[in-house]
Amino acid sequence: MDRSRIDTYASGGQQLIEAYQGLTCEQLFAIPVAGTWSLHQIAIHMMESDLIGTDRMKRIAAMDKPLLIGYDESAFARLPGVEQVDTMAACKLFDQNRCLTATILRALPEASFDRWGIHNEIGRVTLGEMVEKYIHHLEGHLEHIVRKRAMVAAG
Q: What is the C-alpha R_g of the chain?
A: 16
Residue 154 has pLDDT above 90, yes or no: no
Mean pLDDT value across residues 129-154: 96
Residue 155 has pLDDT above 80, yes or no: no
103 burial (CB, 10 Å; 0-12 / 13-18 / 19+) is exposed
Residue 83 has pLDDT above 90, yes or no: yes
Res. 85 pLDDT band, cuts 50 70 90: very high
The predicted model scores a pTM of 0.95
Mean pLDDT over the full length of the chain: 97
Res. 123 pLDDT band, cuts 50 70 90: very high
80 burial (CB, 10 Å; 0-12 / 13-18 / 19+) is exposed
Q: Could you tell me which of 39, 54, 56 has the C-alpha nearest to residue 147? A: 39
Superfamily of domain 4-154: dinb family like domain (1.20.120.450)
Mean pLDDT value across residues 51-74: 97
User: What does the domain layout of the chain look like in residue ranges?
Assistant: 4-154
Residue 18 has pLDDT above 90, yes or no: yes
Residue 91 has pLDDT above 80, yes or no: yes
